[in-house]
Amino acid sequence: MMETKSDIMTDNTMLEVRDIKRDYELPAGFMKPKKTVHAVKGVSFKLERGKTLAIVGESGCGKSTLARMITFIDEPTAGELLIDGKKVDTRPGHLSHEMRQKVQIIFQNPYGSLNPRQKIGDVLGEPLAINTKMSAAERRERAAEMLIKVGLGPEHYNRYPHMFSGGQRQRIAIARALMLNPKLLVLDEPVSALDLSVQAQVLNLLADLQDEFDLTYVFISHDLSVVRYIADEVMVMYFGEAVEYGTRDEVFSDPKHDYTRTLFKATPRADVESIRERVARKKAASAA
């Protein structure tokens, strides 16, 4: 019974990572031997089409390195990467155009990830110019359509990034990532730099786009409240290892690993009950 179930799942698997590893070599210095940093120490997971996997962890835990490997920016030291059922040859120069189109990434800081001297229209048109044979007029049309999809307007086509607010820039970054009709989107802390209200808008947009284009998300975040809202599956990373991996409800209701529990405990709670408790505690302390 289990067999058949997993067979059906593989059919629908968008992304599979098998024991992937990444080491960085620190060069030797004077009187200092060469050192190897194991950034990702063998991570495996499977992600179904149209689902969202959230990767949680603190800085330096390897979550961004994992994202860079999934998006072919970094080559894994060992391990396999399967996208849409096909094994990806990650050696430099061996990557097909299709593969590059299938996977796109959105970065954390929308202020740093857009070229300040490039107009928004050109930002959106560039992936098409490089990867397709579309004419300039076609590209322009597609870019204008995409602007509307992400909640901006065609009038923004000729503007520069500095004319936009943080939330709007993140929308532009999302639009750019979607220009090539990707299947898999890696979002590296896409809302961490945004205000609460704008964060809500961008999260709503991401949810809408996921439905519309049947996208699969790998969502990297350190904010557990966002993860709880958006994720289907959650993976917690700690020092390069996946210490916890399961569906959202499993992880949140019954965390197995100590680190996950520490993480949950450290997350500030904004519900009335815990505030009431804290205020009462403080009163008691000051009275004593």
Partner 1 sequence: MALLQIDNLTVEFETSTGWFRAVDGVSITVEKGEVLAIVGESGSGKSVSMLAVMGLLPWTAKITADRILFEGKDIQKLSPAERRKLIGKDIAMIFQEPVASLNPCFTVGYQIEEVLRIHLGLDKKARRERAIELFRLVGLPDPEERLNSFPHQMSGGQCQRVMIAIAIACDPKLLIADEPTTALDVTIQKQILDLIMSLQAKNGMGLIMITHDMGVVAETADRVVVQYKGRKMEEADVLSLFESPKSNYTKALLAALPENATGDRLTTVSAFFDGNPEPAPEAHA
Residue ranges that bind partner 1, judged by CB under 8 A: 58-59, 163-168, 195-201, 203-204, 207, 222-226, 228-230, 262-263, 265-272, 274-276, 278-279, 282, 285
Minimum separation from the CB atom of position 25 to partner 1 (A) = 20
**Please, which residue, 78 or 275, has the CB nearer to partner 1?**
275
Nearest-angstrom CA–CA distance, 125 and 277:
54
Opening angle at CA 106, ends 102 and 108, nearest 5: 160
**Please, which residue, 129 or 163, has the CB nearer to partner 1?**
163
Minimum separation from the CB atom of position 285 to partner 1 (A) = 7
Minimum separation from the CB atom of position 20 to partner 1 (A) = 23
Nearest-angstrom CA–CA distance, 216 and 13:
10
Q: Are the CB atoms for 248 and 219 separated by under 8 Å?
A: no
Gyration radius from the chain CA atoms: 21
Query: CA nearest 243: which of 25, 40, 82?
Result: 40
**Please, which residue, 45 or 252, has the CB nearer to partner 1?**
252
Minimum separation from the CB atom of position 205 to partner 1 (A) = 10
**Please, which residue, 104 or 168, has the CB nearer to partner 1?**
168
**Please, which residue, 24 or 229, has the CB nearer to partner 1?**
229
Nearest-angstrom CA–CA distance, 215 and 67:
16
Q: What is the end-to-end Cα distance of the chain in Å, rounded?
A: 62
**Please, which residue, 82 or 198, has the CB nearer to partner 1?**
198
Query: CA nearest 110: which of 222, 193, 209?
Result: 193
Q: Which helix (H) or strand (E) holds 131?
A: helix 120-131
Minimum separation from the CB atom of position 270 to partner 1 (A) = 4
Minimum separation from the CB atom of position 276 to partner 1 (A) = 6
